[in-house]
Chains A and B, each alone.
Chain A
Amino acid sequence: MRIFNSGAGSTRAGLRITGLVAIGLASVLVVAGCTDNSQSTSSTSAADKTLVIDKSFDLKTSDPARAFELTGSIVDKAIYETVLDFDGSDVTKVQPGIATFEENADNTVLTLTMTGTHTFSDGSPVTADDIVFSLQRVQGIAGNPSFLLDGVTVAKTSDTTVTLTSATSNPALPFILPNPSLGILNSKVLMANGGTTGADDQAEAFLNKTSAGSGPYQLESYDVTTKVAFALNPNYAGDKPAYGRVVLENVEGPTQKINVQAGSTQIALDLNADQVQGMDSSVKITKNASPYLIYSWYNQDPAVSGGVTDNADFVKAVRQGIDYSKLLSIAGEGSTQPGGMVPSMFLGAIESDPANVFDLDKAKASLAASGYSGQPVTFSYPNDITVNGLQMQTPAEAIQSQLKDVGITLTLAPSPISTFLDAFRAGTLQSGIMYWGPDYPDPADYLVFNPGESLGKRAGWAAGSDPTVTAAADAAAAASGDDARKTAYEAWQNAANASGPFIPVIQPGQYAVSTSEITQLDLNPVWTVDIADIK
């Protein structure tokens, strides 16, 4: 069959073909590589500077009345203004936004008075009608953020004043109003594009293309899976931001690290402690305590608990059996062990609690007292999300291994967040690990972790099953004035740690890595980062 072996011509022809192909590929690679490099340098040195921010997207929509995701908040913060505001990273003090506010003595009526000039991207001024429309739209659409204004009635009282009346005392309201989901929209433009203040609203598609806000930027392009680009709002009444064009790119943590080191991106928002460790000195690392709280739960519902997780001594054994300091070393520098469910930067947070201290001997004793006989406990967690760059799987595997030393057998049950939430909301998961991000920077947000409340029910903690904790929670909700609230919230968390099904495990560190070009970058618990403030 060796017909052509003597004929050198054919092989040379073959060689030529492959050689050409190889050279062609190589030259394309080289040319492309060169143009790419020159591209990135020229674009940053140009007068009209582009800022590139890497974020791992959880984006669903840019319609503020529907968005309640981290990425959505970054986007909406850039294109909409809110009635009230926070300054930089400080969420303990409410600042004026479009309006200033005043509250009556029992915290039921909040009056907004418009201040300064604010103009929408089409040049028209922001009016009290726009505020009423936007806030009522959030309530009417009943999307994810609508609970922010539960029980609040919005009414226009004059051309410059709006009142928000709450059915019960609502001391948290001023801290809620800076949320980007309560951004003010141009009501006329919106109504012309299908916008209403009811469930029949059709403006979402419009808002995902065009922004109708008075914020420093407007949407240039919007794609939920790849990137969102912002251009300056020419009619913005405030100070012009440092960057004329901003691109928010969907990039996973590991790649963000390389991007920011190579300088192709100026800011990386989803790096975890391990990834930050190996960074060279050319980049700047902004470290902050994250408002996120990773907790573990043990279902109290006898139908779900398998006769194990609803045993008080069993939960106690878990509390004493988790090696918190080891978890912190895994979560990395900057992470802390929260004392209770309220994260460290909010009013009423506690630093530590004697119930949640690692002690292997005590844990074994508690376990013996519980009568647990080695049956496997299903431990669920979502496997496709990260909290500040930390995968839920990492602490889950660590806890499994630590509790094994105590004598508890955990069977890990990872699932995608969507299937996980389905079962978790139904309260059918025996135990597991999950996180909670604040909806607004006030401890009242954490009262859902109570018997009969929404999160309590997920752990099978029925109303009336724990009167001590319920009483402490009621006292905390009713307290008025910072000092009284602080004491009441601390007492509630101590009570919950003593007998509740939730164990606060880690409050991870939050990192932002930026190139030397960036001189100002503040991380905020509510909207992560205000693009217009970056310098």
Chain B
Amino acid sequence: MTLVTFTLANLVPADPAQAALGERAASDPAIVAAFREAQGLDKPVVTQYLVYIGHLFQGNLGTSTQSHNPVSQDLSVAFPATAELALFVIVFSIIIGVGLGTWAALRQNRFSDQLFRVLSLVGISIPTFWLALAAFYVFFYQLRLAPGTGRLSASLQAPPRVTGLYTVDALVAGQYTTFFNALSHLILPGLVLILYTVGLLVRFSRSAVLDVLNQEYVLAARAKGLSPSRVVFRYVLRGASLPILTIVGLAFGSLLSGTVLTEQVFGWGGIGQYAYKSATTLDLPAVMGVGLVVGVVYILTNFIIDVVYGVIDPRVRVQ
């Protein structure tokens, strides 16, 4: 993974020294040379890569050529921002998406089923950047219901850092105004992303539940005269949980993509915006840092899902 990011980053034909240095400094060859030396750009590419890997093991991701901060420091600010948004979205999406999907499956081909299916299609078909803009226009510009861009109103200070998630940190510090403010900032970008993720989850949980409904053990449970809600929660959802879990993991990954465009509109200051800024300013250490973080998240998500998988389905453990 580091190799891919590194190769990609080095594909960039433009000179990062020129991009990082200002108008005047870049016309001075001595300064450019000093910059290249400081950044290790004067060494062969392979050496650069090995140096990068070496630093990586010491937890050093290099220094951003744009912010002049260690990349790890930038990421430690940007990552919790995205994580807060993504967690907010995924939690609500699972509740709503799986709920609606199950309901649709139980009412297969009835009106509500058709409605949810169309709605979920609409959810995954709306361009997120456009929806974000529309939501912003309606709820902020016209109705003045939602707060503006960013994670917190400018008049407030970020709560003392514990997790980096403003809502959690504010609660820990007992700053309730800050908590509600951070929460209100979460809602609009959250809803935009929830619509998309719910769209995905409804489709999948519906088909997963449909599969299970045909299984003999469900029929048997039903025949035994168990109450319908008991059958749904004890048998059907449990049986459908594996495929649903798979899709939750994939949805989480696509959520990270979705945040790039949404963060851009809402000025969220998360990984997405950081990635965009560093990609367009050719900030190679930052780009590589983003790639690394995203890769780690992907692997972690899959790992967690595998573990949960094993908990739910003993057969996987044996495997």
B18 touching A11 by the CB < 8 A rule? no
Q: Which of A2, A144, A264, A422 contacts B18 (CB 8 A)?
A: A422
Q: Which of A12-20, A281-289, A479-487 touches B?
A: A12-20
Which residues of A are found within 8 Å of B177, using beta-carbon distances?
A: 35, 39
- Could you give, for residues 85-125 of chain B, a 1 whenever the CB lies within 8 Å of some chain A CB and a 0 otherwise? 00000001001100110110011101000000000000000
A52 touching B147 by the CB < 8 A rule? no
How many residue pairs link A and B with beta carbons under 8 A? The number is 190
- A290 proximal to B (CB < 8 A): no
Which residues of A are found within 8 Å of B26, using beta-carbon distances?
A: 421, 425
B214 touching A227 by the CB < 8 A rule? no
- A376 proximal to B (CB < 8 A): no
CB distance from B163 to the nearest CB of A (A): 18
CB distance from A298 to the nearest CB of B (A): 21
- A224 proximal to B (CB < 8 A): yes
CB distance from A488 to the nearest CB of B (A): 25
Which residues of B are found within 8 Å of A204, using beta-carbon distances?
A: 68
- A126 proximal to B (CB < 8 A): no
Which residues of A are found within 8 Å of B21, using beta-carbon distances?
A: 144
Whole-angstrom CA separation of A44 from B156 in the bound complex: 12
Whole-angstrom CA separation of A25 from B89 in the bound complex: 12
Candidate in A226, A421, A423 with the most chain B CB atoms within 10 angstroms: A226
- Could you give, for residues 161-195 of chain B, a 1 whenever the CB lies within 8 Å of some chain A CB and a 0 otherwise? 00000000000000001001101100100000000
A5 touching B228 by the CB < 8 A rule? no
CB distance from A244 to the nearest CB of B (A): 12
- B141 proximal to A (CB < 8 A): yes
Which residues of B are found within 8 Å of A247, using beta-carbon distances?
A: 154-155
Q: Which of A234-242, A248-256, A513-521 touches B?
A: A248-256
Give chain A interface residues in 28-64, CB to chain B under 8 Å.
28-29, 31-33, 35-36, 39-40, 43-44, 50, 52, 60-61
CB distance from B292 to the nearest CB of A (A): 19
Which residues of B are found within 8 Å of A44, using beta-carbon distances?
A: 155
- A116 proximal to B (CB < 8 A): no
B19 touching A61 by the CB < 8 A rule? no
- B58 proximal to A (CB < 8 A): no
CB distance from B116 to the nearest CB of A (A): 10
A14 touching B103 by the CB < 8 A rule? yes
A18 touching B18 by the CB < 8 A rule? no
Give chain A interface residues in 487-506, CB to chain B under 8 Å.
none
- Could you give, for residues 269-280 of chain B, a 1 whenever the CB lies within 8 Å of some chain A CB and a 0 otherwise? 100011001001
Q: Which of A15, A32, A250, A265 contacts B267 (CB 8 A)?
A: A250
Q: How many positions in chain A have a CB within 8 Å of any CB in the partner chain?
A: 72
- B300 proximal to A (CB < 8 A): no
A419 touching B282 by the CB < 8 A rule? yes
Q: Which of B22, B110, B228, B232 contacts A143 (CB 8 A)?
A: B22
- B149 proximal to A (CB < 8 A): yes
- B25 proximal to A (CB < 8 A): yes
Q: A224-B67, A225-B277 are in contact. Are A4 and B153 (CB under 8 A)?
A: no
- Could you give, for residues 357-368 of chain A, a 1 whenever the CB lies within 8 Å of some chain B CB and a 0 otherwise? 000000000000
Which residues of B are found within 8 Å of A40, using beta-carbon distances?
A: 153, 155
B274 touching A225 by the CB < 8 A rule? yes
- A258 proximal to B (CB < 8 A): yes
Which residues of B are found within 8 Å of A249, using beta-carbon distances?
A: 150, 154
B68 touching A255 by the CB < 8 A rule? no
Residue of A nearest to B218 (CB): A3
- B145 proximal to A (CB < 8 A): yes
- B34 proximal to A (CB < 8 A): yes
- B45 proximal to A (CB < 8 A): no
- A259 proximal to B (CB < 8 A): yes
B25 touching A36 by the CB < 8 A rule? no
Which residues of B are found within 8 Å of A18, using beta-carbon distances?
A: 96, 99-100, 103
- B281 proximal to A (CB < 8 A): yes
Which residues of B are found within 8 Å of A417, using beta-carbon distances?
A: 281
Residue of A nearest to B146 (CB): A33
- Could you give, for residues 122-156 of chain A, a 1 whenever the CB lies within 8 Å of some chain B CB and a 0 otherwise? 00000000000000000000111111000000000
- A375 proximal to B (CB < 8 A): no
**Interface on chain A toward B: helix, strand, loop, or mixed SS?**
helix
Q: A39-B153, A226-B150, A419-B282 are in contact. Are A4 and B267 (CB under 8 A)?
A: no
- A189 proximal to B (CB < 8 A): no
A32 touching B273 by the CB < 8 A rule? no
A142 touching B95 by the CB < 8 A rule? no
Residue of B nearest to A38 (CB): B177
Q: Which of A50, A146, A258 contacts B155 (CB 8 A)?
A: A50
- B24 proximal to A (CB < 8 A): yes
Which residues of B are found within 8 Å of A39, using beta-carbon distances?
A: 153, 155-156, 177, 181
Q: A226-B269, A418-B19 are in contact. Are A17 and B99 (CB under 8 A)?
A: yes
B106 touching A10 by the CB < 8 A rule? yes
Which residues of A are found within 8 Å of B156, using beta-carbon distances?
A: 39
- A199 proximal to B (CB < 8 A): yes
Q: A14-B103, A18-B96, A25-B92 are in contact. Are A3 and B213 (CB under 8 A)?
A: yes
A142 touching B67 by the CB < 8 A rule? no
- B10 proximal to A (CB < 8 A): no
Residue of A nearest to B176 (CB): A35
- B140 proximal to A (CB < 8 A): yes
- B27 proximal to A (CB < 8 A): yes
- B319 proximal to A (CB < 8 A): no
- A68 proximal to B (CB < 8 A): yes
Whole-angstrom CA separation of A229 from B154 in the bound complex: 9
CB distance from A84 to the nearest CB of B (A): 21
Q: Which of A1, A36, A223, A418 contacts B77 (CB 8 A)?
A: A223
Which residues of B are found within 8 Å of A255, using beta-carbon distances?
A: 148-149, 267
Residue of A nearest to B133 (CB): A254
- A416 proximal to B (CB < 8 A): yes
Which residues of A are found within 8 Å of B214, using beta-carbon distances?
A: 1
A31 touching B180 by the CB < 8 A rule? yes
Residue of A nearest to B282 (CB): A418
- A303 proximal to B (CB < 8 A): no
Which residues of B are found within 8 Å of A369, using beta-carbon distances?
A: none
Which residues of B are found within 8 Å of A61, using beta-carbon distances?
A: 68
A35-B177, A258-B140, A418-B280 known, 19 other contacts, Cβ within 8 Å:
A3-B222, A10-B229, A13-B229, A14-B106, A29-B184, A32-B147, A36-B181, A36-B184, A39-B181, A40-B153, A52-B155, A142-B28, A225-B77, A226-B267, A226-B269, A264-B147, A416-B281, A418-B281, A419-B19
| 21 A-B residue pairs with CB within 8 Å | A3-B219, A5-B107, A10-B232, A18-B96, A18-B99, A29-B187, A39-B153, A39-B155, A40-B155, A44-B155, A142-B30, A145-B24, A225-B277, A227-B150, A247-B155, A251-B150, A252-B267, A255-B149, A418-B18, A421-B18, A422-B14
* A interface residues with partner B (beta carbon < 8 Å): 1-5, 7, 9-11, 13-15, 17-18, 21, 25, 28-29, 31-33, 35-36, 39-40, 43-44, 50, 52, 60-61, 68, 142-147, 199, 204-205, 208, 220-221, 223-227, 229, 247, 249-252, 255, 258-259, 262, 264-265, 384, 416-419, 421-423, 425-426, 454
Pick the 5 closest A-B CB pairs, nearest first: A32-B184, A144-B22, A418-B19, A14-B103, A7-B228
* B interface residues with partner A (beta carbon < 8 Å): 14-15, 18-19, 21-28, 30-31, 34, 66-69, 77-78, 92, 95-96, 99-100, 102-103, 106-108, 110, 140-141, 144-151, 153-158, 177, 180-181, 183-184, 187, 210, 213-214, 218-219, 222, 227-229, 231-232, 267, 269, 273-274, 277, 280-282
